[in-house]
Structure formats: structure tokens, C-alpha cells
Copies of this chain bind each other. A is one copy, B any other.
Amino acid sequence: MTKILKDEDLVGSHLMAVAIDALETAFRARAGKRLISPPRHHVSFPDRGDLVFTVGGILGEKPLAGFRVYETFEGAEHSQIVAVWSADDARLKGIVLGERLGNLRTGAIGGLAIRHLSPPDARTIGILGSGAQARTQLAAAAAVRNLDRARVYSRDEKNRAAFASEMQNALGLDIEPAGSAQEAVAEADIVICATTSQTAVIHARDLKPGVHINTVGPKTRDGHELGLDIAAAAAVIATDSPEQARAYASPFFLAGSSSEHRMADLADIIAGKAAGRGSSEEITLFCSVGLAGTEVVVASAILDMMAVPS
């Protein structure tokens, strides 16, 4: 029987750890050229929108294959579909519907970067933004580091207060709203940038030595929430997909800067093929673009874990 999971099935604090471990396997496969992750495929329905397909899979002993599809039609409700096959016996392992899997995946990519780039003894985290991505990035950080304090800043005071009380409750972590972006990041060992700000809200002078910074979502040359001086100050700049970062319709925010050609592939850092953090004083920067195909790997791990009556 094909398992079918919906958003209401994707609950529980253990899911993030499962997702991060699944992605660790996927990124190691990527470093070994065994991750299948072709470019997105769009089909247009004139005047309506597109169906967008991303395919993913891992070759090797227990090969996986699958896809995610989402649409860009106008509507209040949007349901993604992720399906996974075991590619050695053509068995459809299951289908995951809804929006949670995608958020979990994006959070988990951030968690994987924090696992491999942030100081192992990081205790303090600063968060810029208070939306869904900020929540999953914080949950991912808490899954890989023994955090004891967080500060959150977003422009709307109510939002940052709500974020602090909700996430304190969810993660059992001391979280306080900060009065400014600078205050949120001043003492942070890890910084999460999850705003939609088109102007720089922090600069290198605002940060501690040794800090690791995660950014989420496309940053373009015309709009990015962190100063280019942070990239210049970073000893390591990594991304989950250099090819996707280069393929954005608007140039990636580092394009044309002195940092452009220093972007390393997180997969290579994890596999020891590229240099990661060299000392506790270095600044490291991870720019997440959402490596295509990784939803399939996360869905597969969750389907394996859950025995759901269908």
C-alpha cells in the first residue's frame, strides 16, 4: 500500500533531526556525483501559471527516485506533491502532500550547514526575521547545536514577541526579542538571516569573530539583507547549489564582487573536498538556495520512519 502523508502527519520535533540526517546522506552523495538533481522543469498554462517539477534521487545501494511538483496558479490554497520510489524495485514508497515538507527541507539544509560550518560550541543565536523560514532555521540550529540563548529581531514588534514566546515554548530555549538587528546579532555565535529586506540590515562590524551566518532564499545584487562586507570578511562562503545560485534571473548578490568566485559547494565541504571552517575566529557564511531534488530525499526518510495506515 502506498503511504500518503499530509501536513497534519508531519508533526513532532524529531522530524527535523531525521530531515537533517537524510540531507547529510544526500549531500555526501552529491559530492560523490550520486545525487540526481537536474534543473527544474516548467510547463506553462497560458494566463494561469505553471506546473513546476523538480526531480531528485540518490544512486547507489538503495537507490531512490522521485519528484516534487508545485503550481504557480492564483489561489489561496497551494498543495505541493512529493513522491518517492525505491528505484531498485520500482516500488512507490509514498506521497507527501502539502506545504510542511518544503519548509522542513529548507530548514534542514540550514541545519546541515550549521552542523558543518558553525563553531561546535556555539551557544548563542541571533535571528533576523520572524516568519516560517526563521522558525524552521532556528529549529534546525537547535537540532545540531546545544543552544542556550536566542535573540530575534524583526521590524514588527508584535511579530518578534510572538516568535519569541512561541519558539521558546517549542524548543525549550531562552528567546528574547531584540530592539534592533545589531542587538540581535551582537553576541551571536550563529546568525540566521531570514528576512525579505532588500537593504542591508547588518554589516561585518555588527558581528563577533567566529560567527557563522545562514541566509535563506534568493539574494540578488539589487536586494539583499546583509552587507557585502560580510561576504568579504568571511573565510568561507558556501552554498547548497552554486549552479542554482548562478541561474537566478536576477544576478546573485555576490555576482561581480570580489567574493563571487569563492563560493564553495556545501557538499564538497561536508565530504572534505573543499575547505570548511579553519579556526574559531573565522567568519563563515552559508547562502541557501534550496538545492532541487532534496525534498525527495527528506520525504523518503520520513516515509521510512512512519508507519501510516492507508
Contact = CB atoms under 8 A, between A and B. Distances in A.
A89 B75 contact: yes
A90 B4 CA distance: 20
A88 interface: yes
Contacts of A88: 48, 73-75
Between A47, A48, A49, A95, the greatest number of chain B beta carbons within 10 A of the residue's beta carbon is seen for A48
A51 B171 CA distance: 39
Interface stretch (A76-84, A103-111, A191-199, A241-249): A76-84
Interface stretch (A63-71, A131-139, A143-151): A63-71
A43 B59 contact: no
A51 B95 CA distance: 15
A67 B65 contact: no
A59 B45 contact: yes
A85 B71 contact: yes
A97 to B, nearest CB: 6
A79 B45 contact: no
A2 interface: yes
A275 interface: no
A278 interface: no
B90 A74 contact: yes
Given A53-B41, A75-B89, A63 B48 contact: yes
Q: How large is the interface on A (under 10, 10 to 19, 20 to 34, 35 or more residues)?
A: 35 or more
Given A47-B59, A55-B51, A92 B97 contact: yes
A273 interface: no
Contact of A92 (B45, B57, B79): B79
A77 B91 contact: yes
Contacts of A43: 36, 38, 41, 55, 67
Contacts of A75: 88-91
A241 to B, nearest CB: 17
Contact of A73 (B48, B59, B65, B67): B65
A268 to B, nearest CB: 21
A15 B59 CA distance: 40
Interface in A16-61: 36, 38, 41, 43, 45-49, 51, 53, 55, 57, 59
Interface of A: 2, 4, 6, 36, 38, 41, 43, 45-49, 51, 53, 55, 57, 59, 63, 65-67, 69, 71, 73-79, 81, 83, 85, 87-92, 95, 97
Given A41-B43, A48-B65, A77-B89, 4 more contacts: A4-B4, A45-B87, A65-B73, A69-B83
14 contacts: A4-B4, A36-B45, A41-B43, A45-B57, A47-B59, A51-B67, A53-B67, A73-B90, A74-B88, A74-B89, A75-B88, A75-B90, A75-B91, A76-B90
